[in-house]
Amino acid sequence: MVYLKDLFQTADWRAEKHVPVIESVSEVTKGMSIKVTAMVGKEIPHPNTTEHHIAWIELYFLPLGEKFPYQLGRYEFSSHGASINGLNTSTVYTQPEITINFKTDKSGTIYATAYCNIHGLWTNSKELKVI
């Protein structure tokens, strides 16, 4: 049996970027709002075509010492250039980048997951220290 956790990839390929990049502070004062941006293709843009695109990004936070993470949000990207005229005929393309804000009184780990319709599931994480 293959478990879902074993399907997440973490190492990018040379010509394409799939691993979500997490941008946020590494340290925050208790009670302060934390702004987190997650994106795919920061250094090398990911193709964003009808045939090859990032379908969604999810963000989670796992507080230190807790068993289960909290889902901070999920965003689905719906516009990949398709229109009634066919594939890649639209001028509307969503970009795989999201920004959220949250608060926590505990240190922990931020996780970002993304799904490429061709290359599957990808994940990354970033530690957050609350002082």
pLDDT digits (tens), the chain, 131 positions: 988 888 898 887 666 689 999 999 999 999 899 999 999 988 888 888 999 999 999 999 999 999 999 999 999 999 999 999 999 899 999 999 999 999 999 999 999 999 999 999 999 999 999 99
Q: Any idea which residues carry the catalytic annotation?
A: 16-18, 46, 52, 116, 119
Whole-structure pTM over 0.75, yes or no?
A: yes
Q: Supply the range of the domain harboring residue 28.
A: 4-130
Per-residue pLDDT at 118: 94
Per-residue pLDDT at 123: 96
Whichever domain contains 119, its CATH number is 2.60.40.730
Q: 30 CB contacts (<8 Å, ≥6 apart)?
A: 105, 130, 131
Burial of 94 (0-12, 13-18, 19+ CB in 10 A): middle
Nearest CA-CA partner of 39 in 77, 6, 89, 71? 77
Question: What's the structural domain count of the chain?
Answer: 1
The whole-angstrom distance between residue 49's C-alpha and the CA centroid of its chain comes to 18
